[in-house]
Structure 1
């Protein structure tokens, strides 16, 4: 019973953190389709404990690259995926 409750609590904690992800404002400074990367000048990423900066991100889905171009203002989400900071959503 304790093991079951512990597992359930872990699932809720993981799921809750994914749901709590907020979109952050940024500006695309470079799109690298070949490498599947975006360079974004962004506001602080609180979920990753990162200050505002310009950095290169990989994208979780190559189709995200089709939504943006250099100089475009965006709102995006990012998270650690397989140890890499990754753009997971763009609107």
Structure 2
């Protein structure tokens, strides 16, 4: 019986993996993503990206590093500047890391 269950489970895994990676997370999920400390290194309005030196990002499985992020709201690119200390939530959307929310660090 255990063998049958194991086989059925193994065969069902591809079905679980086929969920829509392009779907937007519910608003509650975006608010639930933990905030991580970071320092804005560069704001690239042309590419609609912000480069952030950050700590561990458990929400997207990234170790501490400096990397580019897209932003949920492009108006943030006019508010952020190099040197800003922020706390932000990161998510994966369509295969890209994005900042889904942020606040200036106190």
Under TM normalisation by the shorter chain, which class is it? 0.7 to 0.9
SS in structure 2 at match of 1:70: coil
Shift of 1:56: 0.7
Residues 35, 43 of structure 1: alpha-carbon distance in 2 compared, 3 angstrom cutoff = same
Q: TM-score, normalised by structure 1?
A: 0.77
Q: Residue 86 of structure 1 corresponds to which residue in structure 2?
A: 98
- Cα distance in 2 for partners of 1:78, 1:64 equals 14
The within-5 A match list for 1:1-91 is: 17-91=29-103
Could you list the runs of 5+ residues in structure 1 that have no partner in the other structure?
A: 1-13
Regions of 4+ moved over 3 Å: 14-19
Alignment length (residue pairs): 78
Kindly report the root-mean-square deviation, in angstroms, between the aligned alpha carbons of the 2 structures.
1.6
Shift of 1:21: 0.7
Shift of 1:58: 1.1
Which has the larger share of strand?
Answer: 1
Q: Residue 8 of structure 1 corresponds to which residue in structure 2?
A: none
Shift of 1:19: 4.2
Bigger radius of gyration, 1 or 2? 2
Could you list the runs of 5+ residues in structure 2 that have no partner in the other structure?
A: 1-24
SS in structure 2 at match of 1:65: helix
